[in-house]
Protein backbone atom coordinates (compact mmCIF):
# COMPACT_ATOMS: atom_id res chain seq x y z
CA UNK A 1 0.00 0.00 0.00
CA UNK A 2 1.49 3.39 -0.94
CA UNK A 3 2.44 5.76 1.85
CA UNK A 4 3.39 9.42 1.80
CA UNK A 5 6.97 10.25 2.76
CA UNK A 6 8.53 13.65 3.46
CA UNK A 7 12.16 14.73 3.66
CA UNK A 8 12.59 17.80 5.88
CA UNK A 9 15.30 19.65 3.94
CA UNK A 10 16.52 22.30 6.38
CA UNK A 11 19.68 24.03 7.51
CA UNK A 12 20.90 23.63 11.09
CA UNK A 13 22.01 27.26 11.23
CA UNK A 14 20.71 28.17 14.69
CA UNK A 15 20.96 27.07 18.28
CA UNK A 16 19.77 23.65 19.39
CA UNK A 17 16.38 25.10 20.38
CA UNK A 18 15.99 27.00 17.11
CA UNK A 19 16.91 24.02 14.97
CA UNK A 20 14.64 21.60 16.83
CA UNK A 21 11.76 24.08 16.67
CA UNK A 22 12.28 24.55 12.94
CA UNK A 23 12.29 20.80 12.35
CA UNK A 24 9.15 20.34 14.42
CA UNK A 25 7.37 23.17 12.58
CA UNK A 26 8.24 21.72 9.17
CA UNK A 27 7.06 18.25 10.22
CA UNK A 28 3.74 19.73 11.32
CA UNK A 29 3.34 21.33 7.89
CA UNK A 30 3.01 17.94 6.13
CA UNK A 31 0.55 15.07 6.39
CA UNK A 32 3.23 12.49 5.49
CA UNK A 33 3.21 9.18 7.34
CA UNK A 34 7.01 8.77 7.20
CA UNK A 35 9.38 11.66 7.95
CA UNK A 36 13.14 11.87 7.39
CA UNK A 37 15.33 14.62 8.88
CA UNK A 38 18.90 15.56 7.84
CA UNK A 39 22.20 14.59 9.43
CA UNK A 40 23.02 16.64 12.55
CA UNK A 41 19.79 18.59 12.09
CA UNK A 42 19.65 19.66 15.73
CA UNK A 43 23.12 21.22 15.89
CA UNK A 44 26.11 20.85 13.59
CA UNK A 45 28.52 23.68 14.39
CA UNK A 46 30.99 21.47 16.23
CA UNK A 47 31.73 17.83 17.04
CA UNK A 48 31.87 18.39 20.78
CA UNK A 49 28.25 18.85 21.86
CA UNK A 50 26.52 15.52 22.38
CA UNK A 51 23.66 14.05 24.37
CA UNK A 52 22.36 10.72 25.55
CA UNK A 53 19.75 8.62 23.78
CA UNK A 54 17.04 8.86 25.04
CA UNK A 55 17.66 12.53 25.72
CA UNK A 56 16.36 16.02 25.15
CA UNK A 57 16.14 15.75 21.35
CA UNK A 58 14.57 12.30 21.26
CA UNK A 59 12.00 13.47 23.83
CA UNK A 60 10.70 16.07 21.36
CA UNK A 61 10.43 13.73 18.39
CA UNK A 62 9.17 10.62 20.15
CA UNK A 63 6.33 12.77 21.49
CA UNK A 64 5.68 14.23 18.03
CA UNK A 65 5.68 10.78 16.37
CA UNK A 66 3.20 9.53 18.96
CA UNK A 67 0.99 12.60 18.59
CA UNK A 68 0.81 12.38 14.78
CA UNK A 69 0.99 8.57 14.56
CA UNK A 70 3.94 8.63 12.15
CA UNK A 71 7.40 7.17 11.60
CA UNK A 72 10.31 9.58 12.03
CA UNK A 73 13.92 8.96 11.06
CA UNK A 74 15.54 11.47 13.37
CA UNK A 75 18.27 12.33 10.87
CA UNK A 76 21.28 12.09 13.09
CA UNK A 77 22.49 13.64 16.31
CA UNK A 78 25.72 13.44 18.28
CA UNK A 79 25.32 10.71 20.88
CA UNK A 80 27.48 10.61 24.01
CA UNK A 81 29.05 7.19 24.45
CA UNK A 82 27.06 5.63 27.31
CA UNK A 83 30.03 4.13 29.16
CA UNK A 84 33.28 5.67 27.84
CA UNK A 85 36.48 3.92 28.86
CA UNK A 86 38.31 7.26 28.85
CA UNK A 87 36.26 9.63 30.99
CA UNK A 88 38.50 12.68 30.51
CA UNK A 89 37.48 13.03 26.85
CA UNK A 90 33.91 11.86 26.11
CA UNK A 91 33.61 10.02 22.81
CA UNK A 92 30.66 10.76 20.57
CA UNK A 93 28.84 8.83 17.85
CA UNK A 94 26.99 10.28 14.86
CA UNK A 95 23.72 8.44 15.42
CA UNK A 96 20.48 8.05 13.45
CA UNK A 97 17.28 7.04 15.23
CA UNK A 98 14.08 5.45 13.91
CA UNK A 99 10.92 6.22 15.89
CA UNK A 100 7.63 4.38 15.32
CA UNK A 101 4.07 5.78 15.46
CA UNK A 102 3.79 4.78 19.13
CA UNK A 103 6.73 7.06 19.93
CA UNK A 104 9.14 4.20 20.59
CA UNK A 105 12.77 4.15 19.45
CA UNK A 106 12.89 0.98 17.35
CA UNK A 107 16.37 1.31 15.82
CA UNK A 108 19.58 3.23 16.36
CA UNK A 109 22.43 3.35 13.83
CA UNK A 110 25.89 4.78 14.55
CA UNK A 111 27.65 6.07 11.43
CA UNK A 112 30.31 3.61 10.32
CA UNK A 113 32.22 5.68 7.75
CA UNK A 114 33.54 8.92 9.25
CA UNK A 115 34.61 11.76 6.98
CA UNK A 116 38.11 13.28 7.10
CA UNK A 117 38.42 15.37 3.90
CA UNK A 118 38.16 19.00 5.07
CA UNK A 119 36.35 17.68 8.14
CA UNK A 120 37.24 16.82 11.73
CA UNK A 121 34.54 14.18 12.05
CA UNK A 122 36.94 11.25 12.08
CA UNK A 123 39.10 12.87 14.74
CA UNK A 124 36.32 13.75 17.19
CA UNK A 125 33.84 10.90 16.72
CA UNK A 126 33.86 7.16 17.17
CA UNK A 127 32.71 4.92 14.29
CA UNK A 128 29.81 2.56 14.69
CA UNK A 129 30.18 -1.14 13.91
CA UNK A 130 26.66 -2.49 13.46
CA UNK A 131 24.56 -2.77 10.29
CA UNK A 132 21.03 -1.83 11.26
CA UNK A 133 17.66 -2.71 9.74
CA UNK A 134 14.22 -2.55 11.33
CA UNK A 135 11.11 -4.46 10.30
CA UNK A 136 8.09 -2.13 10.35
CA UNK A 137 4.52 -2.02 9.10
CA UNK A 138 5.67 -0.03 6.06
CA UNK A 139 8.56 -2.33 5.12
CA UNK A 140 12.04 -3.21 6.31
CA UNK A 141 14.06 -0.03 6.75
CA UNK A 142 17.86 0.14 6.56
CA UNK A 143 19.79 3.05 8.06
CA UNK A 144 22.89 4.88 6.80
CA UNK A 145 24.34 8.39 7.09
CA UNK A 146 25.91 10.75 4.51
CA UNK A 147 29.49 9.61 3.71
CA UNK A 148 28.30 5.99 3.95
CA UNK A 149 26.77 6.50 0.50
CA UNK A 150 30.23 6.14 -1.10
CA UNK A 151 30.62 2.58 0.19
CA UNK A 152 28.39 0.08 -1.67
CA UNK A 153 29.44 -2.79 0.58
CA UNK A 154 27.34 -1.33 3.40
CA UNK A 155 24.23 -1.20 1.23
CA UNK A 156 24.67 -4.74 -0.02
CA UNK A 157 24.95 -5.82 3.62
CA UNK A 158 21.71 -3.96 4.42
CA UNK A 159 19.94 -5.76 1.57
CA UNK A 160 21.21 -9.12 2.80
CA UNK A 161 19.55 -8.27 6.11
CA UNK A 162 16.27 -7.62 4.32
CA UNK A 163 16.18 -3.85 3.73
CA UNK A 164 13.54 -2.67 1.27
CA UNK A 165 13.75 1.05 2.05
CA UNK A 166 17.13 2.63 2.78
CA UNK A 167 17.44 6.04 4.39
CA UNK A 168 20.45 8.35 4.19
CA UNK A 169 20.29 11.62 6.14
CA UNK A 170 23.18 13.87 5.13
CA UNK A 171 25.09 17.12 5.42
CA UNK A 172 26.57 16.94 1.90
CA UNK A 173 28.34 20.08 0.65
CA UNK A 174 29.05 21.78 -2.63
CA UNK A 175 30.72 21.28 -5.07
CA UNK A 176 29.98 17.51 -5.20
CA UNK A 177 26.42 17.73 -6.56
CA UNK A 178 26.97 15.28 -9.44
CA UNK A 179 28.46 12.73 -7.05
CA UNK A 180 25.43 13.10 -4.79
CA UNK A 181 22.85 12.60 -7.54
CA UNK A 182 24.74 9.66 -9.05
CA UNK A 183 25.18 7.87 -5.73
CA UNK A 184 21.50 8.25 -4.82
CA UNK A 185 20.38 6.68 -8.09
CA UNK A 186 23.10 4.02 -8.10
CA UNK A 187 22.29 2.76 -4.60
CA UNK A 188 18.59 2.46 -5.46
CA UNK A 189 19.33 0.56 -8.69
CA UNK A 190 22.03 -1.70 -7.21
CA UNK A 191 19.90 -2.75 -4.26
CA UNK A 192 16.47 -2.65 -5.95
CA UNK A 193 15.11 -0.54 -3.12
CA UNK A 194 13.69 2.86 -2.35
CA UNK A 195 16.62 5.12 -1.51
CA UNK A 196 15.63 8.13 0.58
CA UNK A 197 18.12 10.93 1.21
CA UNK A 198 17.53 14.05 3.28
CA UNK A 199 20.27 16.64 2.99
CA UNK A 200 20.92 19.90 4.79
CA UNK A 201 20.95 23.29 3.03
CA UNK A 202 22.60 26.66 3.67
CA UNK A 203 25.86 27.26 5.51
CA UNK A 204 25.79 26.47 9.24
CA UNK A 205 29.58 26.11 8.99
CA UNK A 206 31.80 28.89 7.65
CA UNK A 207 33.78 26.42 5.57
CA UNK A 208 30.90 24.59 3.84
CA UNK A 209 27.55 25.19 2.17
CA UNK A 210 25.25 22.18 2.05
CA UNK A 211 23.62 21.56 -1.32
CA UNK A 212 20.21 20.09 -0.50
CA UNK A 213 18.74 18.08 -3.40
CA UNK A 214 17.16 15.60 -1.01
CA UNK A 215 15.45 12.91 -3.02
CA UNK A 216 13.23 9.85 -3.12
CA UNK A 217 14.48 7.32 -5.68
CA UNK A 218 12.57 4.16 -6.61
CA UNK A 219 14.03 0.69 -7.33
CA UNK A 220 14.40 1.49 -11.06
CA UNK A 221 16.52 4.55 -10.24
CA UNK A 222 13.69 6.94 -11.10
CA UNK A 223 13.62 10.10 -8.99
CA UNK A 224 10.11 10.22 -7.50
CA UNK A 225 10.70 13.61 -5.85
CA UNK A 226 13.64 15.93 -5.32
CA UNK A 227 14.39 19.27 -3.69
CA UNK A 228 16.53 22.13 -4.92
CA UNK A 229 19.05 23.99 -2.79
CA UNK A 230 16.59 25.88 -0.55
CA UNK A 231 14.80 24.89 2.62
CA UNK A 232 11.74 22.83 1.70
CA UNK A 233 9.69 19.72 2.40
CA UNK A 234 10.23 17.08 -0.31
CA UNK A 235 7.18 14.84 -0.54
CA UNK A 236 6.47 11.67 -2.51
CA UNK A 237 4.74 8.29 -2.41
CA UNK A 238 6.52 4.99 -1.87
CA UNK A 239 5.12 1.45 -1.96
CA UNK A 240 7.15 -1.47 -0.63
CA UNK A 241 5.07 -3.85 -2.76
CA UNK A 242 6.72 -2.25 -5.79
CA UNK A 243 10.14 -3.23 -4.38
CA UNK A 244 8.96 -6.80 -3.92
CA UNK A 245 7.48 -6.91 -7.42
CA UNK A 246 10.70 -5.61 -9.04
CA UNK A 247 12.85 -8.06 -7.08
CA UNK A 248 10.57 -10.94 -8.05
CA UNK A 249 10.39 -10.12 -11.77
CA UNK A 250 14.01 -9.01 -12.27
CA UNK A 251 15.82 -10.98 -9.62
CA UNK A 252 19.46 -10.11 -10.21
CA UNK A 253 20.09 -9.92 -6.48
CA UNK A 254 19.73 -13.71 -6.48
CA UNK A 255 22.63 -13.96 -8.95
CA UNK A 256 25.25 -12.38 -6.71
CA UNK A 257 28.50 -14.34 -6.71
CA UNK A 258 30.69 -14.02 -3.64
CA UNK A 259 34.20 -13.30 -4.90
Q: Is residue 255 included in any domain, yes or no?
A: no
Q: Is residue 257 included in any domain, yes or no?
A: no
Q: Is residue 190 included in any domain, yes or no?
A: yes
Q: Is residue 166 included in any domain, yes or no?
A: yes
Q: Is residue 258 included in any domain, yes or no?
A: no
Q: Is residue 221 included in any domain, yes or no?
A: yes
- Cβ-in-10-Å burial (0-12, 13-18, 19+) of 54 comes to exposed
CATH code, domain with 111: 3.60.110.10
Angle between helices 177-191 and 152-160 (to 10 degrees): 30
What pLDDT score does 120 carry?
Answer: 73
Nearest to 81, CA basis, from 92, 97, 67: 92
What's the structural domain count of the chain?
Answer: 1
Under 8 Å CB-to-CB from 248, ≥6 apart: which residues?
none
What does the DSSP 8-state code read for residue 146? G
pLDDT tens, residue order, the chain (259 aa): 899 999 999 999 999 999 999 999 999 999 999 999 999 999 988 777 899 999 999 999 999 999 999 999 999 999 998 766 665 555 899 999 999 999 999 999 999 999 876 667 778 898 999 999 999 999 999 999 999 999 999 999 999 999 999 999 999 999 999 999 999 999 999 999 999 999 999 987 777 899 999 999 999 999 999 999 999 999 999 999 999 999 999 998 888 888 8
Under 8 Å CB-to-CB from 82, ≥6 apart: which residues?
52
Domain residues for 193? 3-250
Nearest to 55, CA basis, from 27, 21, 79: 79
Under 8 Å CB-to-CB from 180, ≥6 apart: which residues?
149, 172, 197, 199, 211, 213
Q: Is residue 145 included in any domain, yes or no?
A: yes
What pLDDT score does 207 carry?
Answer: 77
User: How far is 44 from 38, CA to CA, in rounded Å?
Assistant: 11
Q: Is residue 197 included in any domain, yes or no?
A: yes
Amino acid sequence: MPIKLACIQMGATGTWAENVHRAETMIRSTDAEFIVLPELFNYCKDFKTGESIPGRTTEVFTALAREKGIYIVMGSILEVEPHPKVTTSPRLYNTSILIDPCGSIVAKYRKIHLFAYHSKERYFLKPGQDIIVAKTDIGTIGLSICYDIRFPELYRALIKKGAEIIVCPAAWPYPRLEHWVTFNKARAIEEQCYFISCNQVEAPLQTQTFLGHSMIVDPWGTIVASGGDKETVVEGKIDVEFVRKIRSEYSFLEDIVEL
